Amino acid sequence: MSDEPTQYGYGGAVEMTSGEFAGWRYWNHDPFENRAGPFFMRRETDGGYVSAFRAADRHMNGAGAMHGGCLMTFADFSLFAIATDELGGANAVTLNLSGDFLGAVPPGALVEARGEVTRGGGKTIFVRGLITGDGTPALSFTGIIRKLSPR
């Protein structure tokens, strides 16, 4: 990433200050996600969160469409973005993640995820969402996040 990030607050999130994703945040403490993406998030005017990244050739499979593993990795990132408020800065892990592939994502597409917390309030958070490529549904997903107790 050549764009300069600035520290944004909780959980190591940083804000991009230039480029296509200026004003968006990402977690700089997850080397796998940053290498796979990087994936970005921001709060929308309705209070929810949207996650996004730009599909590049390195995200594609042999058939020229986005690799399913990339979509699932992005879904995992998006679980935590969608549940940001519910997490309240706590560390957490994915207990379950499942997805249904709905369509192909071509190179160059803007890939976005939106969703909702369907149940929260304790240590276990249930999330569902939809990933699109240039607005076309690509993956619906559900997941369960478990907050970790401080050590």
Report the percent of the chain where pLDDT is more than 90. 75
User: What CATH topology corresponds to 5-147?
Assistant: Thiol Ester Dehydrase; Chain A (3.10.129)
Confidence of residue 150 (pLDDT cuts 50, 70, 90): confident
Residue with tokens 């590049």: 56
| 91-105 confidence digits (pLDDT tens) | 899 999 999 999 999
Residue 5 has pLDDT above 70, yes or no: no
Task: Write down the pTM of the prediction.
Answer: 0.90
Domain ranges of the chain: 5-147
Beta strands in the chain (DSSP E): 5-7, 13-16, 25-27, 40-43, 49-54, 92-101, 110-119, 124-133, 136-147
Residue 6 has pLDDT above 80, yes or no: no
Distant-in-sequence contacts of 6-14, Cβ < 8 A, 24+ apart: 10/89, 11/89
Question: What DSSP letter does each residue of 60-75 carry, written as one string?
Answer: B-TTSSB-HHHHHHHH
What pLDDT shows up at residue 11? 53
Report the percent of the chain where pLDDT is more than 70. 91
Residue 4 has pLDDT above 60, yes or no: no
| 54-109 confidence digits (pLDDT tens) | 999 999 999 999 999 999 999 999 999 999 999 988 889 999 999 999 999 999 99
Please give the Cα distance from 85 to 105 (Å, whole number). 29
Residue with tokens 């107790």: 149
- How large is the average pLDDT for residues 4-21? 66
